[in-house]
Amino acid sequence: MTKTEEKHKKFLNLNLRTKTLLIIGIAFLILFSVFVSNYLIDHTAVLTSNFYNINQPPSFEHWFGTDWMGRDMFMRTLLGLGISIGVGAFASIISTIIAILLGVFSSVNTIVDEAVTAVIDLFGSIPHILLIILVSLAFGGGYYGVVMAVGLTHWTPLARVLRAEIKKINTSEYIKLSTEFGKSKMWIAKKHIFPLIISQIIVGVILMFPHAIMHEASISFLGFGLPAHEPAIGIILSESMKYLSMGYWWLAFYPGLALLFLVLLFDLIGENVHKLLDPQSAQE
Amino acid sequence: MSKLLEVEKLSISFSQYFKGLEQRELTVLSDLTMDVDDHEILAVLGSSGSGKSLLAHAILGILPTNAKVSGSIRYKGKEMDDELKEQLRGNVISFIPQSVNNLNPLMKVKDQAIGYTNNEEEKQKLMKKQREIFNQYKLAENVDDMYPFQLSGGMARKVLISTALLNDPEIIIADEPTPGLDEQAVEETINNLIELKEKGIGMILITHDIHTAIETSDRIAILYLGYVIEVTDTKNFSGEGEKLLHPYTRSLYRALPETEFELTEGHQPSYLHIPKGCPYHENCPYQVRECHYELPELREVNGTVIRCFNPLVDGE
Amino acid sequence: MDVMKAEKVSFGYGSHKILQNLNFEMNNNQVIGLFGDSGSGKSTLCKILTGFITDYEGEVTVNGQKHNGGYNPIQLIYQHPEKVMNPRWKMKDVLEESWMPDEKILNEFGIKKEWFKRYPSELSGGELQRFSILRALNPKTKFIIADEISTMLDAVTQVQIWESLLTVARENNVGVLLVSHDKRLINRISDEMVYLSDITD
């Protein structure tokens, strides 16, 4: 290989690593600022009606326009996204805990494993939205109900992955050898298994966010989710339905787009973190 | 006259992502030059996990896309580009893969041997021929309808060889044909390969088993860390190894259990840590100054092609 | 003197018997070569002796005692060292999972300190096999079962690792059962060659 080729390679090499880190950094920064802005915005001031300014199309003053009560849509969207992230975070934590517990449980013995698989299949077989609505109602609706509903229904894919992964590691020959060296089950779990599945867990959690957020928005839109006074994206979208026919397209367009953007950001972070933690998958 | 198949200065490398997307370059074959003619078996001998199989894949044009390849491969003096490789593989150049795992597990043996063809007439012809070849190898009719998992090790080997023969190839590349077989099956396989050679086929035998190489081939190309360090007449693997010119080849021969079982110090490093200069210099008792910083070129000494500054020409 | 004994050992999947009524005995001053064709159940026997397979019939004992948790005095060395190492561990951790040998033994095996910082994927097959042998040579080990440990290595490396292994094993009175399909190697190394077909039904 010639000198110039080598240099070229070096440059590309740096590029990919930095690119991945850069994407993660920027995406995280955007999400973080959306979340923090929620605490900096004066809610009452933003959400108070202002009838001088109703139904204005997007302008430099009001980027996303205003609604039928004269509220700034940009601010409402921002608050809505904040709520989405909040719901997503809580729900992901609940789901992850369930997934880890079931994953670890399944490695106890074959009977428990069968049971865990059955539970996973059972939850997987019920239509998602229906289940979320039912659980949400069972917990009495509201913010609490939505978080619980989304949290209790999103663990299936991660639990499945963790179960398979733990199974794979458990049957590997280095684990068997470890037992021959007289290592205890706890020692093996701590030193061998946990470090190997931690990356799966991290990626699983991040990729759970977009699902949780979308589902929260869907059931809020359908009216089973967050109460009408919360500035959630689902609520905004469902309210705007009434005004769309009058040509106030910006009421739905921008919040919807923002939600999509948010979801894509999480996907982007998840994929890139995955690349960092599991370089084999990054082979061109 | 150009040879049947010539490989010149072939290098294959991969870049891999390692922990945290660090990239590392893995050169598995470096500056490989060799040739094979009809009525000849050339063994390519290298330790396992060394990516010897990639040589076969390069000739057949089935390398993975992230491989970086340089050098030239010629068939009867004609440069083989991707198009020519595709034309030749399976017809003029046949491949005997390592194991039945390379067969489709869901297809009957007979159908795999024949391959896909639209033409009914041609299919009949191929089927007849397949039966003839199978008969030659004493594979009974009931083998035709078996699935790969039903074959024993020796039978599978025969199926793989017969499959390779169906299109009357001029060149056969055999990848590790002997491991995992019992003594009798190994002997049979070796005899089969020699028979093919006598019919005029030129063969490249890729193996890590020095016994198979010695018993089968006419010439042996020895690989060390992806470099050809010596291409020598198989007859030279005899006596005390005094006709083997490269220090590594000689210690390899003298380390065999049936010769001296002689101990040579030093260890073969991984492909990520190939030393500068001669790849063998760190372990070589005969090293000279150049070995440390210069890669010796392949050259001919006493009829042997060798990559060494200080070959063992006069005895020890 | 330590004695390893396998009595009336049978193993199979369903009706398919792989080993039938195997009886075998050796002591810790012996190096025995076990020969069998491929597919004859050699590897299965190795796994039974070392506790990798537990649902067999019969008994494997060391000095009359069955292994029951804790460090197994019979250790297995594999044909493929990379399979018995956690790919995300550095070599130092891999070795220390069993024990940390002193300088003298490390030198005997030609192991360099700089390798300790590397991952298994960064070492050659020969280098990895040195580590996996060394792990098995823990002072608590009484017998080593070597299942085709040099089949994948070149002849030069084969001599090196056997020289080191046998030197350390003899010094510490560890019995070695070498399992191979290569009669030439068995003849060269072992005190005695045993045919698998002779010790089973």
The minimum CA-CA distance between A277 and chain B, rounded to whole Å, is 6
Contact C76 A172 (CB under 8 A): no
Q: What are the chain A neighbours of C72 within 8 Å (beta carbons)?
A: 180-182
| Main-chain phi, psi angles of C179, to 5 degrees | -110, 125
CA dihedral (A33, A36, A42, A45) positive or negative: positive
Mean per-residue pLDDT over chain A, rounded:
84
Q: Is C35 helix (H, G, I), strand (E, B) or coil?
A: strand
Q: What is the pLDDT of residues C86-112, one digit of tens each?
A: 988 999 999 999 999 999 999 999 898
What are the pLDDT digits (tens) for B250-273? 999 999 998 889 888 888 888 888
Structure tokens at C196: 């698998």
> What are the tens digits of pLDDT across the range A166-194?
999 998 999 999 999 999 988 999 999 99
Tell me the per-residue pLDDT of A4-34, one tens digit each, with 9 for 90 and over.
444 445 445 556 778 888 888 988 898 888 8
Q: Predicted confidence band at B314 (pLDDT cuts at 50, 70, 90)?
A: low
Average pLDDT, chain B: 88
In a domain, B149, yes or no: no
Find the domain containing B35 and state its range.
5-92+169-299
CA pair distance B123, B146, nearest whole angstrom: 19
> Could you tell me if A131 and A155 are in contact, meaning their C-beta atoms sit under 8 angstroms apart?
no
pLDDT tens-digit readout, A137-160: 898 878 888 899 999 988 998 999
Say whether the ipTM exceeds 0.85.
yes
> What is residue C149's predicted lDDT score, i.e. its pLDDT?
93
Q: How many CB atoms lie within 10 A of CB B303?
A: 10
Whether B160 is in a domain gets the answer: no
Query: What is the pLDDT averaged over residues A100-118?
Result: 89
Q: What is the pLDDT of residues A217-229, one digit of tens each?
A: 888 888 888 887 7
Banded pLDDT at A281 (limits 50, 70, 90): low
Angle of CA points B263, B264, B269, to nearest 5°:
125
Burial class of residue B275 in the structure, from the number of CB atoms within 10 Å of its CB (0-12 exposed, 13-18 middle, 19+ buried): middle
Query: Which of chain B's residues have a Cβ under 8 Å away from the Cβ of C181?
Result: 182-183
Note whether C126 contacts B47, CB cutoff 8 Å: yes
Contacts of residue A210, Cβ cutoff 8 Å, sequence gap at least 6: A88, A263, A264, A266, A267, A270
If pLDDT is split at 50, 70 and 90, which confidence band does A2 have? very low
The residue ranges of every structural domain in chain C are: 3-199
pLDDT interval class at B176 (50, 70, 90):
confident
Q: What percent of chain B has pLDDT over 70?
A: 98
What is the second-level CATH architecture of the domain C3-199? 3-Layer(aba) Sandwich (3.40)
Query: Which residue does chain C place closest to B18, by CA atoms?
Result: C121
A196 residue type, one letter: L
The shortest C-alpha distance from B76 to chain C (Å) reads 33
Q: For residue B250, what is the domain's CATH number?
A: 3.40.50.300
Please give the mean pLDDT across all residues of chain C. Answer: 91
Asked whether B34 and B228 are in contact (CB, 8 A), the reply is yes
What tens digit of pLDDT does each residue of B20-46 get? 677 778 888 999 999 999 999 999 998
Confidence tier at B186 by pLDDT (50, 70, 90)? confident
Q: Indicate the SS3 state at residue C25.
A: strand
CA angle A45, A49, A50 (to 5 degrees): 100
Phi, psi torsion values for C198, nearest 5 degrees: -80, -20
Q: How far is C12 from chain B (nearest CA, A)?
A: 18
Neighbours of chain A (3+ CB pairs under 8 A): B, C
Instruction: State the pLDDT confidence band at C188, using cuts at 50, 70 and 90.
Output: very high
Task: Count structural domains, chain B.
Answer: 1
Helix A3-40, helix A250-277: angle, nearest 10: 130
Q: Is residue C194 scored above 90 in pLDDT?
A: yes
Q: Average pLDDT, stretch C151-159?
A: 90
- Find the CB nearest C97 among A176, A178, A195: A178
Q: Which residues of A touch B18 (CB under 8 A)?
A: 279
3-class SS of residue C79: coil
- pLDDT reported for residue A284: 42
CATH superfamily of A17-39+72-282: MetI-like (1.10.3720.10)
pLDDT band per the 50, 70, 90 thresholds, residue A1: very low
CB contact under 8 A, A279 and B25: no
Interface test with B, best of A1, A10, A22 (most B CBs within 10 A): A1
Contact status of C200 with chain A (Cβ, < 8 Å): no
> What is the DSSP code string of chain B?
---SEEEEEEEEEEEEE-GGG-EEEEEEEEEEEEEE-TTEEEEEE--TTS-THHHHHHHHT---TTEEEEEEEEETTEE--HHHHHHHBTTTEEEE-SSGGGS-TTS-HHHHHH-----HHHHHHHHHHHHHHHHHTT--HHHHT--GGGS-HHHHHHHHHHHHHTT--SEEEEES-STT--HHHHHHHHHHHHHHHHTT-EEEEEES-HHHHHHH-SEEEEEETTEEEEEEEGGGSSTTSTT--SHHHHHHHHTSTTTT----------GGGPPSSSTTGGG-TT--GGGGT-PPPPEEETTEEE--SS---S--
CA distance A124 to A102: 14
| B310 found inside a domain | no
Question: How do residues B94-118 score in pLDDT, each as one tens digit?
Answer: 999 887 777 888 888 888 888 777 8
Res B283 pLDDT > 60: yes
Q: What average pLDDT does the segment C12-35 reach?
A: 89
Q: E strand or H helix at C194, and its extent?
A: strand C192-195
